[in-house]
A = this chain, B = another copy of it.
Amino acid sequence: MGKEVKILVVDDEERIRRLLKMYLSREEYKIEEAEDGNEALAKALENEYDVILLDLMMPGKDGLEVCRELREKKATPVIMLTAKGEEVNRVQGFEAGTDDYIVKPFSPREVVLRVKAILRRASQTSYLQTEPTTKDVLVFPHLTIDHDAHKVTADGKEVNLTPKEYELLYYLAKAPDKVFEREQLLKEVWQYEFFGDLRTVDTHVKRLREKLNKASEFAARMIVTVWGVGYKFEVVNE
């Protein structure tokens, strides 16, 4: 339902573009890319994007400049990507017409949250706001993940998860039945510059299962180990 959401991702590093694309694709957004300021500006002016993710530091035209020039013609929401220490003056960014910031290295959750926040705001600006913005709640037998409230419930009982546990569960549950290798989970649930021990994933899975199990053994069993490959979320039929 609702029309397709189009996002433009601008960064000179191919790796960053790929990561952003990966995170955002999971939310069913359509992603396009640009690798420098001029290309970004050209695309942004020609097309109608719902959000633009814009790197601050780029060879040639930098993010602020692109934003400023874009603003002369269009109001497309812009989220600026800044590296730590690159600390833009918020007021400066604000004057250029930036809507929000994300500091690198970012985590998937952060990116997705920000994009959603922007989209929500934008949709509220639309003339008639009759329909309530669709709630983001995953409901399975024995387990409910309410992403707005950031709350997990198993067999009626609330399960208190730490951020990483929550993210891990949410990530897996968003694609039931799909197996993820530990490497991939580390890349996508953790920040993108994290090169940690693969066993770390196991530890978190363990803690997650533990907590789920206290509330519902069925919920705990939904985190399934795929031997030799990784983990997946599978709905229990009971």
Contacts and interface: CB of A to CB of B under 8 A. Distances in A.
Copies of this chain, complex-wide, total 2
A206 interface: no
A200 interface: no
Interface of A: 14, 17-18, 21-22, 25, 32-33, 75, 90-91, 94, 113, 117, 121, 124-125, 127, 129, 146, 148-151, 162-163, 177-179, 181, 184, 195, 226-229, 232, 234
A1 to B, nearest CB: 19
Given A32-B127, A124-B21, A179 B195 contact: no
Contacts of A146: 177
Given A17-B125, A90-B195, A150-B179, 8 more contacts: A18-B124, A21-B124, A21-B125, A22-B121, A25-B124, A25-B129, A148-B178, A162-B227
A97 to B, nearest CB: 9
Contacts of A14: 75, 125
